[in-house]
C-alpha cells in the first residue's frame, strides 16, 4: 500500500508550509541578505557605468537600456527587502514563546585554565597554611626545649664551678 503524494492532501501541505523550521528561515534570511548585497553592488556598478545625458556622448537607446536595468534591479531590491521582512516576522513569531537567553550564554567558549589554577592555588595555599601552623607549633616547642636546656646548662655550669671551688679550697 503506497501513500499518496502530499499534493493530494492540501491540508497537510498547508500545515507543512506553516511549520517551517526556524533554522531554515534563518538560512533563507541569510541568502536574502546576500542577494540584497549582490543587487546593491550591481546597482552601484550600473550607476558608475552610466553616463549622464549631458549631450556630449548621449545615446538614447543605451541610456534607456541601462535605465531599464537599473529600475529592474531597484524593483528586485524592493522585493528582496519585503521577503526579508516576512522572514524576520516569521522568525519572531516562531520565537515569541521562548525564554530570552542572554547573548553571553549563547557564545561557546573553552573553559580557561585560570579556574583550575585558582583551585590548585587555593589547595596549595591551604596546604601551605597548614604546614606553616605546624612549623609554628614545632618552633614554639623547640623554644621551650631550648629554654629548658639553657637552664640545665646554667645549673651544670654552676655545679662545676662549685665543684672546682671546693677542690681548690681542699688543696
Alpha-carbon distance values, 45 to 72, 140, 163 (Å) = 14, 89, 120
Q: Give me the residue label for grid cell 589554577.
A: 117
Q: How far apart are CA 68 and CA 54, in angstroms?
A: 19
Q: pTM for this one? A: 0.47
Q: For residue 69, what is its C-alpha cell?
A: 536595468
Q: Are 36 and 80 in contact (CB under 8 A)?
A: yes
The pLDDT value given to residue 9 = 46
Mean pLDDT, 10 residues at a time, the chain of 171 residues: 45 52 90 95 84 62 83 94 94 80 75 67 89 94 95 94 91 78
d(CA 23, CA 87): 11
Domain segments of the chain as ranges: 6-97, 131-171
Q: How far is CA 69 from the centre of its chain?
A: 45
What residues contact residue 22 under an 8 Å CB cut-off, 6+ apart? 91, 94, 95
Kindly report, residue by residue over 82-113, the tens digit of the pLDDT: 999 999 999 888 887 777 778 777 777 766 65
Between CA 160 and CA 167, with CA 163 as vertex, the angle to 5 degrees is 140
Amino acid at each position: 500500500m503506497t501513500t499518496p503524494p502530499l499534493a493530494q492532501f492540501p491540508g497537510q501541505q498547508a500545515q507543512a508550509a506553516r511549520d517551517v523550521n526556524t533554522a531554515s528561515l534563518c538560512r533563507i534570511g541569510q541568502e536574502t541578505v546576500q542577494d540584497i548585497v549582490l543587487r546593491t553592488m550591481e546597482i552601484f556598478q550600473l550607476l558608475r557605468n552610466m553616463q549622464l545625458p549631458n549631450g556630449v556622448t548621449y545615446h538614447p537607446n543605451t541610456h534607456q537600456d541601462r535605465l531599464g536595468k537599473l529600475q529592474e534591479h531597484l524593483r528586485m531590491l524592493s522585493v528582496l527587502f519585503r521577503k526579508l521582512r516576512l522572514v524576520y516576522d516569521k522568525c519572531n513569531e516562531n520565537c515569541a514563546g521562548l525564554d530570552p537567553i542572554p547573548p553571553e550564554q549563547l557564545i561557546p567558549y573553552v573553559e580557561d585554565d585560570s579556574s583550575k589554577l585558582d583551585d590548585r592555588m587555593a589547595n596549595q595555599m591551604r596546604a601551605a597554611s597548614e604546614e606553616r601552623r605546624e612549623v609554628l607549633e614545632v618552633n614554639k616547642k623547640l623554644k621551650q626545649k631550648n629554654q629548658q636546656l639553657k637552664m640545665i646548662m646554667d645549673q651544670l655550669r654552676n655545679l662545676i664551678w662549685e665543684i672546682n671551688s671546693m677542690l681548690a679550697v681542699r688543696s
